[in-house]
Amino acid sequence: MRIPDQMLLRGHGGHRHFWERALSRRQFLGASAAATGAAMTVPLWVPALAEASSIDPKPITETVAPGAPFHIQLPVPGNELSAIRDFNGVVGVAAVSGTGTGTSGGSSRRLVFDADMRFMQGQYIGMNGQSHEGTFVFV
């Protein structure tokens, strides 16, 4: 959209480049609809607040690396996906791997990544021997 020079305000803050970045009606309506939709779904983004328990769960005895500060098994069929012993609940696992490009000092090279992320939510027997409820995440 090009604005004639006669319509620009001289000395009153009118700048030719303003109109180069102004939104069209279609862009404005699209952005408004997206913002309205995002605002209306905010309650769905916020997870239910969970009451934190100060009692640690019992960890599973098996581990990928003996002596590691966490107790976890690789996410393959037949392995325990939870990191908590005496656990009754839901476990979600995402094992993501791939390649990327690393750049340093002007040179690039291919890199490999592997990420294991999990959540556990439910009832567990704590280190004190009593039943508790909680949500745990392993990233």
Q: Name the amino acid, one letter, at 40.
A: M
CA distance 97 to 111: 11
pLDDT at 88: 93
pLDDT digits (tens, 9 = 90+) for 2-54: 656 555 555 545 555 555 566 677 777 777 777 777 767 666 655 554 455 67
In whole angstroms, how far apart are CA 32 and each of 2, 10, 36? 24, 31, 6
| In the chain, domain spans | 5-45, 50-139
pLDDT at 9: 52
Q: pTM score, two decimals?
A: 0.51
Q: For the chain, what is the mean pLDDT? A: 76
